[in-house]
Structure 1
Amino acid sequence: MTIFERYLTLWVAICIVVGIGAGHFIPGLFQAIGGLEYAQVNLPMAVLIWLMIIPMLVRIDFAALKQVGRHWRGIGVTLFVNWAVKPFSMALLGWLFIGWLFRPFLPETQIDSYIAGLIILAAAPCTAMVFVWSNLTKGEPHFTLSQVALNDAIMIVAFAPLVALLLGLSAITVPWDTLMLSVALYIVVPVLAAQMLRRWLLANGGMVAIDKVLAVLQPISIGALLLTLVMLFGFQGEQIIAQPLIILLLAVPILIQVYFNSGLAYVLNRASGEEHCVAGPSALIGASNFFELAVAAAISLFGFNSGAALATVVGVLVEVPVMLSVVWIVNNSKGWYEAGAAVRRNEQKRVEP
């Protein structure tokens, strides 16, 4: 276990405090960094995500993608949670907590907008950051890549009608430039870069060369993750200090949503007998969000200063620390998971000649 993994909670806490403090005392710096964007996609953040995921993508052998079909249980569970459970459960949680329990503590004029933002957030499954979470759980990289690609394809046709259905709108404005640019920046570019690097390394030293380069890149990847956390909280440092109660209340249904959906996916994979290396990323994909698209959609529909935009931003704030906690749960429950009857039965079938 690395120092990062051993003291994970401490590093996350430090990054959150540093981010909030820096955002409050030197807001100009973060405003300047935040302004480096195109189509609501922050370019410095894209670079950090490249640094995080390219080392993981270098490990992927595209020739092995044809074997992903044997993980059909994990694929089915992930798609079910992402598209049949997650948006609808968030609509219910939003109504329960924001529309009812917390209503007396929130601005009355923003209640519906807050709920809308939560729904938009839940309707956009995560893309690039999933590679980070999958790597931390020693997840099956080919399954993760294929599942992310499948979710992206579904999102192009399903995001707009699903949000329109849950929000009761006849039509919604999908920020297509944000969606397509995000897919290109967070998936296509790093995949191509990683595979070009992999081919060059294989031609100039084989797997030994890959292992040496990954030993150098891995600390950089972890550093990029921590810096991302500082930036996310730095961008919103002023808002966190100015209205902490509203942000805390909006975080409650998001937290419940993450743990519910990740737990549901994890348990369903265990019941179906899927391998732990697939159940981990399946649970993480089922719980995390494509926050760049969600924020852009909320702003385009309701405005920059709307409750919907704030709700999606809260999703951004809780994304990294909460998903790291899910990673911890997945890693520390591996023994329980693999003791499941269906898991042991399928494992026995795999080892039998």
Structure 2
Amino acid sequence: MTDLKSQPPENDVLRRLSFLDRFLPVWILAAMGAGLLLGRFVPGLQDVLDAVTIGPFSVPIALGLLLMMYPVLAKVRYDRLDSVTRDRRTMALSLVLNWVLGPALMFALAWLLLPDLPEYRTGLIIVGLARCIAMVIIWNDLACGDREAAAVLVALNSVFQLLMFGVLGWFYLELLPGWLGLGTTSVHFSFGEIALNVLIFLGLPLAAGYLTRRVGERTRGRDWYESRFLPRIGPVALYGLLFTIVLLFALQGDAITSQPLDVARIALPLLAYFAIMWAGSYALGRAAGLAYPRATTLAFTAAGNNFELAIAVAIGVFGVSSGQALAGVVGPLIEVPVLVALVYVSLALRRRWAARTTTG
């Protein structure tokens, strides 16, 4: 398990940040704004982006996510993954949080706060079923979480996504509402679509990161790889993140800006969801005795969602102009700034944790 004392203090981390890293919230907000403006005022942009797809997935967005995830996964020390897989406590907590509590919480919030808006409610439930396997990697890295644990937990989520997404979709959209007398929504999920999502957004960058480290260490050694090579490719992750955010918001800029009241209604349960999942998971990790890096990883992997899959499923099943698709698009609109803020909350908690460890 990663020892907190072996990690650099928060102040040292912040001092070493580049200009791009230090003002990350500013760049992210600017990217969101630029995307919204592009989607609203550039005619035909959405048609151009929609034309470049693999199945239901946008190639430009996939490219941005690959650029974002590859440098982080290249940093993972794959020879240490066994320390995570042997940690049954973390693995069990992650499975319960992601596949029991997370979907149940989103279901409850969607019905509680959107009882009169069935399309948006269904879209949010789909978001809750799509557990994060992509962008959470970079939030975890920025918060100085456990990279090896993040790699294992997102891989675990990908396996359960293949096995459980369709089952839980049937349970939360058809079976449980019927039992509760709430009305049902009949939905068919494509196993091939889910498998393609896992392959593109996790399989490719994971394979590239693993091969890069293996070849780099064999040919030049670990010291060169970590002190010379990784710093060169590190900024690519943030460029990929900003590029992806611009594209995501450009695709639905018109829908978001033309329906602000609907966006606000959808945002409320999402805000509650991210706050409850992150804080609850972090507190649970601490109560279970996890060190800061692993507790932080547990919190981010439980709070994040796979909006790429949620949007693709909503569009594929209900149509691009549906309320379900809009709810999926609002997901990253809320998730991105909230989880960026939680990165800074994590770093503040890290400083307090280190101070207590030192005085203790």
TM over 0.5: yes
Give yes or no for contact 1:71–1:274 (8 Å, CA) kept in 2.
no
The answer to whether the aligner puts 1:195 opposite 2:210 as a matched pair is: yes
Tell me the residue number matched to 1:317. 333
Aligned-partner Cα distance in 2 for 1:19–1:297: 22
2:7 is aligned to none
Does residue 206 (structure 1) correspond to residue 258 (structure 2)? The answer is no
Q: Does 1:292 align with 2:298?
A: no
CA contact (8 A) 1:24 1:238 kept: yes
Q: Which moved more, 1:48-57 or 1:27-36?
A: 27-36
User: What is the total number of aligned residue pairs between the two structures?
Assistant: 333
Question: In 2, Cα distance between the equivalents of 1:311 and 1:56?
Answer: 29
Q: Name the SS of the counterpart of 1:323 in structure 2.
A: helix
- Tell me by how many angstroms 1:13 deviates: 1.9
Residue pair 2:68, 2:138 contacting (<8 A) in 1 also: yes
Report what 1:148 is aligned to: 154
Matched, 1:165 2:175: no
Inter-partner Cα distance in structure 2 for 1:331 and 1:72: 26
8 Å Cα contact 2:124/2:324 also seen in 1:
yes
2:141 matches 1:125: no
8 Å Cα contact 1:175-1:296 kept in structure 2: no
The change in CA–CA distance for 1:259 and 1:240 in structure 2 (over 3 A counts) is same
> What one-letter code is carried by the residue in structure 2 that aligns with 1:47?
L
Tell me how far 1:243 sits from its aligned partner.
Answer: 0.8
Q: What displacement does 1:338 show?
A: 5.4
Q: What does residue range 1-353 of structure 1 map to in structure 2 within 5 Å? A: 1=14, 2=17, 3-99=19-115, 103=116, 111-168=117-174, 172-210=187-225, 211-337=227-353
Two-structure CA RMSD over aligned residues (Å): 2.1
Shift of 1:75: 2.3
Tell me by how many angstroms 1:70 deviates: 4.8
In the alignment, the residues of structure 1 paired with residue 202 and residue 48 of structure 2 have an alpha-carbon distance, to the nearest angstrom, of 26
Amino acid at match of 2:156: L
Return the alpha-carbon distance in structure 1 between the equivalents of residues 89 and 355 of structure 2. 18
Distance 1:305 1:21 in 2: 19
Secondary structure of 1:138's counterpart equals coil
Unaligned 5+ segments in structure 2 are 1-13, 176-183
**Cα distance in 1 for residues equivalent to 2:320 and 2:251:** 14
Distance 1:330 1:257 in 2: 17
CA contact (8 A) 1:75 1:282 kept: no
Return closer, same or farther for 1:166/1:338 CA change in 2, 3 Å cut-off.
Answer: farther
Distance in 1, matches of 2:159 and 2:169, equals 16
How far does the alpha carbon of each residue in 1:143-171 deviate from its partner, in whole angstroms, 9 at most, with x for none? 11111111111122221121211112596
Deviation at 1:268, TM superposition (A): 0.3
Q: 1:337 to 1:112 in 2, by over 3 A?
A: farther
8 Å CA contact 1:41, 1:178 repeated in 2: no
The residue type equivalent to 1:208 in the other structure is D
- State which drifts further: 65-74 or 128-137: 65-74
**Which stretch shifts more, 261-270 or 276-285?**
276-285
TM-score by length of 2: 0.86
Q: What is the aligned-residue identity percentage?
A: 32
Structure 2 Cα separation of the partners of residues 326 and 42 of structure 1: 28
Q: Secondary structure at the match of 1:168?
A: helix
Task: Indicate if the aligned counterparts of 2:131 and 2:157 stay in contact, CA closer than 8 A.
Answer: yes
SS at match of 2:114: helix
Cα 1:301–1:25 change in 2 (3 A) is closer
